[in-house]
Structure 1
């Protein structure tokens, strides 16, 4: 005796590698497959279609196969409604809850596909606008539209209707273009170990400019190395001229940036001459102390204490910034969010607004922001350490493309390409 189910794959399933992944998943997890129908798109815009029966010895073998196929974008040929279970308590999900990917997702409720809002990986899906009968069926309450959205664990309330299992869920991974067209065609290889060149910088600049021309939002995730390596003035120009709409960073980045404004140093090192002035090691703490005395970054700018730099331009041009604290922070600055949950929520709001994200030499913050991004958000990661991009990919941010290079060289070149 064997058990089976039928799944469908649609889109550019050959170019994107979905067909290959589907076959591999079935075989590696102990199943077999039978292709019942296969249509190949014969032009650049024509999509392909595959109807495949998945066969296994028992349900215990079949279920993990279907789960993995579903996460990659396959759907059951005969979809049913999603199963909704009430959360047993605040911050507690029902057994077998569906854990989201970062791909666009729909859930089927009362026979209709409902898009999941604020998509983010490793979250639960909560459905509102319906009520659940004792027999498990659901129907609209009549009080408004049926909606679904992702919720992190601390956002789950007792009684929330949470999607469980894999039935009635449709995942739509972004498809790889058939050619090198589009603003990211030049970096389809994932991680580039090349030094920055005029052509690569120009392509990234074009992507940023295109995003802004379309009314999009650019978020920059920046580490202290941006300032320490000499990229601060270039990033400040991008903020001032409106090419960067928001900054996501930590306490250290802001302190380095304002220390440069006040003393011309970063962690006591003169960023122009690379020399260490006498007692320069105190500048870091002096900067924090003076900003605290002023009452915060905005007050320090208004007082004339801070007269240039990234944080100065954020204040002067009303650009959003989030400084998330860590256990290693000196001070910290009054603007640094020291509550971890509050910091996560602030980063999450920035991520939801972003259409393009520049990640500059910050492994910790790049992974944190990457975890909040849907797979449709274009992401460029620049770091001297290739492990930063590798970890992004390992954590599920497959849309991230990277350049392995010195950020102190990259940022001024990008600013020059965009502004001059």
Structure 2
């Protein structure tokens, strides 16, 4: 005897691939489906609708299938209120808690849909009620932030997931963002489109977060990124201890990890420059103090301090020193990254796998992400971990950032000329 459940999909479900994905999920997991209703949107602005019955041999198999469909935007047609169970103690969620995706999500409480705030993947959803027992808000919480008594959403009922849809055309500054990673994209035109996206984001009052790896400094792109920070096109920075050390080392010694980035020579004792740099910054009391004293007078970190661009340096087990500004507590670093990620409107992930994945885990799927690396596996891993909104460009970061800076400034100049 089979069991079944009716689900529905709505939106641009054909060209976005949502409908095909739903069919594949059901078949791959051993179920079957029957499309009961299918209305096709016939223009670029109209949406499509599909209603289908999903069947499986056992209730457990059906629940697994419906769960996967739900994660991809197929929602049951008979919504019920969410199940809410209190957390038994701090950092402990109830059994069967709902683990979030990074897509916009609503929960149904007392017959009303409430948008979940601060959406990110792999969190619990907590519903807050006022003194009269009425729901006030719903928001995500990481497991280590759960407090005893928090009302946590459990099960699958009363939850609506809304995956963002890809643009149906390629117009506008963000038209190039069609997802995926490729070494085949024409570099000049793609970089120009990314530059337009940065300018558009700034003109709209948005924030651009740069997530940077040390290779950016090694490859000679330090000055170009510093200019983007100085001119306000990059408004936030997320990196590790190594990135900041090599940037500061370049200012003090003209090297990055002991190598002259212009001549490619290795000066005598150059291999010690990074640890000398750390010692000097510790002696000064931190990066800001070193800038204020005049010890540091150029580079990315200098521009962040001088222009009040917030930065997060997240430490790791491999760090030398580390710098006084580096956050060495992993949970504290995650929270700082999370706060930045929730404020960002556009994220540039520049040649760093670990920090790209860390920041990507904190981003809602509605945030635009561009990932640039010479290694296509960096973007592939980002996509595999759920940051499906990321688009990738496979190129040398030392070439990409200077060209991007040039095109950003040119795009801004062109826009200014048009206003005159």
Could you state the TM-score of these two structures normalised by the residue count of structure 1?
A: 0.96
Return the alpha-carbon distance in structure 1 between the equivalents of residues 267 and 190 of structure 2. 37
1:305 aligns with 2:284: no
Partner SS state of residue 50, structure 1: strand
Deviations 1:9-34 (A, max 9, x none): 10000011111111111111121111
Stretches of 4+ moved more than 4 A in 1? none
Q: Provide the rounded CA distance (Å) in 1 between the counterparts of 2:175 and 2:370.
A: 13
* Alignment counterpart, residue 307 of structure 2, candidates 295, 304, 317: 317
Aligned match for 1:160, one of 142, 150, 155: 150
Distance in 1 separating the partners of 2:185 and 2:80: 51
Deviation at 1:78, TM superposition (A): 1.0
- The CA distance in 2 between the partners of 1:311 and 1:72, in whole Å, is 40
Q: Which residue of 1 aligns with 2:84?
A: 84
1:192 positional shift: 2.1
Which residue, 357, 363, 366 being the options, matches 2:353? 363
- Of 249, 267, 272, 1:277 maps to 267
Q: What residue is the counterpart of 1:261 in the other structure?
A: 251
Aligned to 1:175: 165
Shift, 1:195, TM fit: 7.5
SS, match of residue 84 in structure 2: strand
After superposition, residues 398-417 of structure 1 pair within 5 angstroms as 398-417=388-407
Residue 189 of structure 1: CA displacement? Answer: 4.9
Unaligned runs of 5+ in 1: 132-139
* 2:211 matched residue in structure 1: 221
Q: Deviations over 1:215-255 (max 9, x none)?
A: 11000000000000001000000000000001000110001
CA positional deviation for 1:184: 3.4
Which residue of structure 2 aligns with residue 41 of structure 1?
Answer: 41
Trace 1:222-261 onto structure 2 (pairs within 5 A): 222-261=212-251
Q: 1:63-78, aligned counterparts within 5 Å?
A: 63-78=63-78
Name the SS of the counterpart of 1:34 in structure 2. strand
Which sits farther off after the overlay, 156-165 or 189-198?
189-198
Q: Secondary structure at the match of 2:100?
A: coil
Matches within 5 A, 1:331-370: 331-370=321-360
SS in 2 for 1:227: helix
The correspondence for 1:203, drawn from 172, 184, 193, is 193
CA distance in 1, matches of 2:51, 2:347: 37
**Structure 1 residue matching 2:176: 3-state secondary structure:** helix
What is the match of residue 137 of structure 1? Answer: none
Query: Equivalents in 1 of 2:94, 2:27: separation in Å?
Result: 31
Establish whether residue 102 from structure 1 lines up as the match of residue 102 from structure 2: yes
Q: CA deviation at 1:187?
A: 4.4
For structure 2, list consecutive stretches of 5 or more residues without a partner in the other structure: 411-420
| Aligned counterpart in structure 1 of residue 141 of structure 2, from 151, 157, 162 | 151
Root-mean-square deviation over aligned CA pairs: 1.2
Deviates more, 1:408-417 or 1:278-287: 278-287
Q: What TM-score, normalized by structure 2, do the two folds share?
A: 0.96
Deviation at 1:179, TM superposition (A): 1.9
Deviation readout 1:268-295 (Å, 9 max, x if unpaired): 1011111111111121111111111010
Look up the match of 1:185. 175
Aligned residues: 410
Partner of 2:15: 15
Aligned with 1:391: secondary structure?
helix
